């Protein structure tokens, strides 16, 4: 090891007051030095709810990808998914931290921090779309779902880069660069499998049929966006852009666009209202149980 390789890590071995919370981040604020204020004219409570929605999408999706670790067909795909999961986790951290800042601004006090929001909310308090929590049955579903999610989130973040909240705009602009790469990765696999052997084609088409009912919710109105003019994007406005990407990839992959109807809402409610699919409870149990059992543990 060169001297620099050693010194880059030297500070880690030192005794400091900077203990790390064992099961969360705890050690640093991803928005360190970025002011907690909310611009005038922006409904702070609605901004908190909006950042929570988008943060939950990323947090839950990231966890689903992490569950694939050690189960990929090749090491290269393992690193790909780990990196995509890490990007989404980073986006989630910033968005949840911003949600906490806006929550504090709305209440003239201090909002919850990112760990409190990630680990100490119950199922009905999560606002992610149900597509994010889907448990992929196989690699075809994994790549098909990632294509739909990243194409949609890229379109959303591209629009949000000019949002009236400068912190959300900065997070979105940064996220967009990462999401374009995720989309391109997923598209390559959908084309490879769709335009591959009869077996891979059949599996890819079946995967799309399984995913498609969950895609409708991405473009449906949610309870928050309308309260944030100049900040939020109307979900319906993204459909054309996302459809163009999906249609181009599906055509190249010789796959047909499923006609399945969107997954039913429950008494008019879906993910954005805190109504989730059965598998979500198990996901949250895995994500949260250790942190809840040892809420103040450090290492």
Residues in the site for another protein, rule: CB under 8 A? 2, 4-5, 7-12, 14, 18, 27-28, 30-34, 76-77, 79-80, 82-84, 86-91, 93-94, 151, 154, 158, 166-167, 169-171, 173-181, 183-185, 187-188, 191-192, 245, 248-249, 252
Question: Which residues lie closer than 8 Å to 28 by C-beta, 6 or more apart?
Answer: none
Closest separation in Å from C-beta 26 to another protein = 11
Closest separation in Å from C-beta 122 to another protein = 25
Under DSSP, is residue 299 helix (H, G, I), strand (E, B) or coil? Answer: coil
Q: Which residue has the tokens 């997923």?
A: 186
Closest separation in Å from C-beta 192 to another protein = 6
CB 157 within 8 A of CB 179: yes
Q: Is 179 or 214 the residue whose CB approaches another protein more closely?
A: 179
Q: Is 6 or 198 the residue whose CB approaches another protein more closely?
A: 6
Alpha-carbon span 199 to 12, nearest angstrom:
50
CB 257 within 8 A of CB 268: no
**How many other CB atoms are found less than 10 A from the CB of residue 18?**
11
Among 205, 222, 268, smallest CA distance to 127 is for 222
Closest separation in Å from C-beta 281 to another protein = 26
Q: Is 91 or 263 the residue whose CB approaches another protein more closely?
A: 91
Q: Is 107 or 248 the residue whose CB approaches another protein more closely?
A: 248
- Per the document, the length of the chain is 299
Closest separation in Å from C-beta 252 to another protein = 4
């Amino acid at each position: 090891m060169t001297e620099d390789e050693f010194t880059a890590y030297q500070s880690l071995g030192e005794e400091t007051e900077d203990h790390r919370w064992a099961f969360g981040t705890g050690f640093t604020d991803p928005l360190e030095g970025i002011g907690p204020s909310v611009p005038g004219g922006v409904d702070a409570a609605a901004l908190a709810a909006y950042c929570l929605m988008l943060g939950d999408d990323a947090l839950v999706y990231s966890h689903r990808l992490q569950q694939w670790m050690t189960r990929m067909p090749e090491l290269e795909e393992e690193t790909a998914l780990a990196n995509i999961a890490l990007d989404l986790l980073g986006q989630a951290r910033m968005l949840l931290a911003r949600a906490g800042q806006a929550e504090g601004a709305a209440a003239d006090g201090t909002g919850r921090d990112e760990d409190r929001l990630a680990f100490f909310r119950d199922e009905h308090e999560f606002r992610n779309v149900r597509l994010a929590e889907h448990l992929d049955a196989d690699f075809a579903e994994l790549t098909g779902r990632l294509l739909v999610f990243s194409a949609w989130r890229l379109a959303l973040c591209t629009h949000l880069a000019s949002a009236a909240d400068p912190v959300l705009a900065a997070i979105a602009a940064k996220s967009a660069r990462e999401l374009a790469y995720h989309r391109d990765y997923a598209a390559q696999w959908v084309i490879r499998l769709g335009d591959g052997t009869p077996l891979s084609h059949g599996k890819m088409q079946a995967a799309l049929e399984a995913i498609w009912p969950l895609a409708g919710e991405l473009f449906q109105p949610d309870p928050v966006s309308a309260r944030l003019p100049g900040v939020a994007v109307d979900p319906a406005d993204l459909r054309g852009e996302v459809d163009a990407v999906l249609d181009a990839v599906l055509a190249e992959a010789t796959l047909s666009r499923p006609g399945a109807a969107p997954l039913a809402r429950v008494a008019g409610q879906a993910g954005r209202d805190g109504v989730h699919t059965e598998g979500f409870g198990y996901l949250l149990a895995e994500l949260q149980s250790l942190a809840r059992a040892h809420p103040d543990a450090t290492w």
